[in-house]
Structure 1
């Protein structure tokens, strides 16, 4: 009544949300989750000494996190940074629930709604194949060449019949055994075992590596960390 809109429709047999009701429910859930996350981060910020928590999946930083941590640690007002290496696809949730202060996320796979972010790197993708695969000797492939191949799933509700992947080592083992192939950012190459080969996928959509943090954060340490990550990314992209 206070909103001036109808949130529910009632019949003798059921109660259903209206479109306005669904919006209020979804936004309300996000607001409550954000409040819980803010409380978690506030408790962490009150600890002495101050520290940040950065979350990334294995190999999900394109080699930028190590130099970022080193340069950040050299700043006069730097704080300690704890690095949380999570399972594949978990970093966004750990940032949203307050476990982490900052995360390495990837577009188009992660949802940045309600987060602030800066782009660090845009990169092409490669097919990850076992050495005996029919395409392993190609200089490059297209997505059509991968038609009919078993591709992994990274979320339980993701369509497809491929294996559900939680860890990078699990994915590498299944590709080695010929149970699946994968399409990954090119920066994943150094993390792969020598039982696998990578082939550029010419028409795969590029991926974007982001450094992301809670919307409207006022942490000066977090702002300094983000600036450092951007500087490291710019240096890495500069011609030698």
Structure 2
């Protein structure tokens, strides 16, 4: 049997994740008929049914689920090989650090000052993109806030502190100094999850990432609430938003993370440097409420 092609795997992963041929074709930038033909050819090539098709959606067969899991690993490996090869060929080597802007708990300036093994190249991205960058070889190391999918990742904790709920300052709950998760019944997180359920657990559902300005705009008009680390709340003290502690809400831990298979000495030195800096950082225990109730 001939080997599978990465093109076939990309097509199949798109259909499996979107559960719809039309949406998958749009995602891939192609017409639907050739995509449907490509998936049928893939099923004939493997001699198994991968998808159960209905008029509204497609679902994975057991064989399809196996291929989806393996295809993701294979595509990540191909992307990693290309990214790491390009990085290795750079004339001036650098350590690539992935992070979400403002999610460094104030550590980043001191990290950049203290780490002198290699120049540090910052890869700033949206929520969730840092983990993908570690897996596909675009980043050597990342700053991540728990929870995240730890498969294939090694990490060390740096700073732990409470999470607060951000809500409209006009919300009646903002008049309280502390809340419980059940008090948030009826309110939604930015991606539509009921807030009273607490933090979503990884792996997270796929969503187009929102930036801070979009999330805070939703909060200010009462369309959403948001759970965020206290160190991030301190950076966004806005008149229209109140931050309150929530009993039973999982605390946040900022970690330094890297691929489990990494053997780069520069990464090991970076981790030790960041741990030393974090050890000198004040803790965030029992923060006062932040924000301006009206």
Matched, 1:54 2:75: no
Q: Give the count of matched residue pairs.
A: 221
Alpha-carbon distance in structure 1 between the residues aligned to 2:219 and 2:180: 19
Hey, what does 2:243 align to over in structure 1?
198
Hey, what does 1:72 align to over in structure 2?
115
More helix by share: 2
Hey, what does 2:22 align to over in structure 1?
none
Alpha-carbon distance in structure 2 between the residues aligned to 1:79 and 1:90: 23
Residue among 14, 27, 40 paired with 2:83: 40
Bigger RCO (CA 8 Å, 6+ sep) = 1
**What SS does structure 2 have at the residue aligned with 1:95?**
helix
Hey, what does 1:112 align to over in structure 2?
150
* C-alpha spacing 1:206/1:238, structure 2 compared with 1 (3 Å): closer
Alpha-carbon distance in structure 1 between the residues aligned to 2:119 and 2:282: 27
Contact 2:160-2:283 within 8 A present in 1 as well: no
Contact 1:175-1:182 within 8 A present in 2 as well: yes
Residue among 241, 248, 267 paired with 1:222: 267
Matched, 1:15 2:52: no
Residue among 156, 166, 174 paired with 2:218: 174
TM-score by length of 2: 0.66
Alpha-carbon distance in structure 2 between the residues aligned to 1:84 and 1:29: 23
Task: Tell me the C-alpha RMSD between the 2 structures.
Answer: 3.1
Where has structure 1 moved over 4 Å in runs of 4 or more? Answer: 16-25
Residue among 228, 247, 256 paired with 1:211: 256
| Unpaired stretches in structure 1, ≥5 consecutive residues | 2-9
Alpha-carbon distance in structure 2 between the residues aligned to 1:31 and 1:15: 20
Alpha-carbon distance in structure 1 between the residues aligned to 2:258 and 2:220: 35
Contact 2:190-2:218 within 8 A present in 1 as well: no
Alpha-carbon distance in structure 2 between the residues aligned to 1:236 and 1:42: 37
Alpha-carbon distance in structure 2 between the residues aligned to 1:217 and 1:203: 36
Cα drift, residue 190 of structure 1: 2.3
* C-alpha spacing 1:188/1:154, structure 2 compared with 1 (3 Å): farther
Cα drift, residue 238 of structure 1: 7.1
* C-alpha spacing 1:189/1:25, structure 2 compared with 1 (3 Å): closer
TM-score by length of 1: 0.79
